[in-house]
Amino acid sequence: MDHGVSLITTVAAAFGVALILGFIAERIKVPALVGYLVAGIIIGPASPGFVADVNIASQLSEIGIMLLMFGVGLHFSPADLLAVKRLAVPGAIVQMGCAALLGIGLASWWGWSFGAALVFGLSLSCASTVVLLKSLEARNLLDTMNGKIAVGWLVVQDLVTVMVLVLLPALAGILGSHTAVANSSSLWSTIGQTLLQVTAFIVLMLVVGRRLLPWMLWQVARTGSRELFTLSVIATAIGIAYGAAELFKVSFALGAFFAGSVMRESEFSHRAAEESLPLRDAFSVLFFVSVGMLFDPSVLVDRPLHVLGVVAIILLGNSIPAATLVLVFKYPLNTALTIAASLAQIGEFSFILAGLGKSIGLLPAEGVNLILAGALISIALNSFVFTAISPFRRWILDRSALARRLEVNLDPYAELPMSTERKYLEGQVVLVGYGRVGRRIAKALDERGIPYVVAEQNREVVEDLRKNGRAAVSGNAGDPAVLIQAHIANAAMLVVATPDTINVRQMAETARTLNPAIEIILRTHNEEESVLLHNEGIGSVFFGEEELAKGMTSHVLDRFAPGSSATGAH
């Protein structure tokens, strides 16, 4: 009975204090995650007054890790990663390597062992997906090209960190763990056995799970019970994570991640994400609270220079290499600054990695405290870093000719080649966006032999289009220079196939200024936006749900037309 009371007390205190501090954090424009971490500090053993049960909080946090990783798996899209792979994959690896080396160097200077320094450096190199997504959503950047690159970058980080989590226990002995027995003769066999177990689990999930889980969700969905569907999603996430740990010695995090990524194959994946979201959010709060309970605030007083060094690596050691690499790949300055701001913080994977390092005897308690201090400070500062992008960009553009050249674009695909045929330069269609809608429009134009020029933000898509003999320019069509390069002045029509309501007016204004007679076709997902655009007379507006209703209505009326089979049956 005492154990039960301790559990209820811990949960009540964690949720209650986290609610208050999370609310305060949001009110002062700081991520609620900071409030949850501070809540953990308040009810943890390092603070006076009430102390929650650390062991119970730790077990609850394991559930939080499972559900967090399950959510990451549900939203992990190989297609999204492949769309930005040429920048995100090398970028994430180089950026993580630079930050990890800085962390290793700093920890070695403090006199730590190599194993401790390695875990410390890696923990400082992986940004928080949760913090990034919230920052991008708050600024309407999630669906932009910059947002997609940032998310793809973090997906690569997550995959690299997952591999580190798998290999670290096997390498603990050779890295100097006090709890593991170092035996170099059995090192390779241990690593081999670990990789074999992980491979067996992954194969089982991809071969069996990919077929079984969607089928199971379909069977549960057929019952019509929402409660049973939610239960099946949660049971799957936690059950597979637990089974993976027991049978294959795979971490809870990796097991839950693959459960989510395999379930994503189901047509019910979107519903699964929605149904599990409340419980996932609740337990993720407990995870961050439990992490805060491990933090000792005295490190801020006892080791202020150490904390300063950690924060410098997080803010600068991650951002500067990332921004430099983005510019080397000839992306504009604005993209480089957005990626830099995205990586200027650490979060959940850093906590998981630090916790694992401590549990296997590699990372000292001081290291965990320094990582937590760095996370708290960097997350609190991240919203201000994002806010500083625009004024910093204006400031550096005013003072640096090099920055102006970078902003103008060194992109080799920003201009049409001199060899472009004349039919693409006069009387053509300028098609903005080559996503799901844009590709279908382009296919129809190809079938009719109508020439068109694609304006697309994803440079890799533009590169592929040109390899296939199509005319395309890269860049944001809200920038007049992009439409000018697409020869909008001589075009017959502008088709905006991307739901970019922020820049659509700028596109239309540029098109009308350079070509008053041009016809403009717009797409929108929002009914209010559709009405406003109609009223402004910018062009012909197509609202997704309205067009779907028209198509379905037309089909129904055709079926019930005089002489149709439906009319005869009726």
Per-residue buried b or exposed e for 171-199, using 16+ beta carbons within 10 Å of the residue's own CB: bbbbbbbeebeeeeeeeeebeeebeebbe
In this structure, what DSSP letter does residue 494 have?
E
Whether this prediction's pTM lies above 0.75 is answered by: no
* 67 vs 431: CA distance, rounded Å: 41
List, for residues 111-166, the tens digit of each pLDDT value: 998 989 999 999 999 888 777 877 777 677 766 777 778 878 887 887 788 778 77
Q: Which residue has the higher pLDDT, 233 or 410?
A: 233
Q: What Cα–Cα distance (Å) separates residue 63 from each residue in 227, 247, 475?
A: 20, 18, 43
**Which residues lie across from 432 on neighbouring strands?**
455, 496
Residue entry with tokens 């190809």: 446
pLDDT tens by residue, 216-270: 888 888 888 888 888 888 888 888 888 887 887 766 777 787 788 777 767 777 7
- Is residue 400's pLDDT more than 70? yes
Pairing type for strands 452-456 and 519-524 reads unpaired
Evaluate if residue 278 carries a pLDDT over 50. Answer: yes
**Residue range 183-206: mean pLDDT, rounded:** 71
Residues 6+ apart with CB under 8 A from 425: 416, 487, 490
Q: How confident is the model at residue 108 (pLDDT cuts 50, 70, 90)?
A: very high
Say if residue 370's pLDDT is above 60: yes
Beta bridge partners of 541: 522
* Residue type, position 390, single letter: S
- Rounded to an integer, the average pLDDT of 51-68 is 81
Tell me the per-residue pLDDT of 292-302, one tens digit each, with 9 for 90 and over. 887 788 888 88
**What is the spatial order of strands in the sheet that 493-496 belongs to?**
471-474, 452-456, 429-432, 493-496, 519-524, 540-543
Segment 451-461 shows an average pLDDT of 85
132-141, 322-331, 498-507 — most confident range: 322-331
Give me the pLDDT at residue 1, please: 39
pLDDT bracket for residue 3 (50, 70, 90): very low
Residue 249 in tokens: 């010695």
Angle at 288 between CA 246 and CA 23, to 5 degrees: 145
C-alpha span between 485 and 474 (Å, rounded): 9
Q: 377: which strand partners?
A: none
Among the ranges given (181-190, 352-361, 554-563), the one the predictor scored with the smallest mean pLDDT: 181-190
- Distance CA(454)–CA(474), nearest Å, equals 8
pLDDT in the model for residue 500: 67
Query: Considering only CA atoms, which of 57, 49, 75 is closest in space to residue 18?
Result: 57
| Distance (Å, whole) CA 118 – CA 105 | 9
Beta bridge partners of 496: 432
**Residue type present at position 369:** N
Instruction: Compute the chain's Rg from CA coordinates.
Output: 27
SS (H, E, C) 107-128: HHHCCCCHHHHHHHHHHCCCCC
Q: Could you read off the pLDDT of 412-439 as tens digits, one per residue?
A: 777 788 778 888 888 889 999 888 788 8
Each residue of 11-34: pLDDT tens digit? 899 999 999 999 998 888 777 878
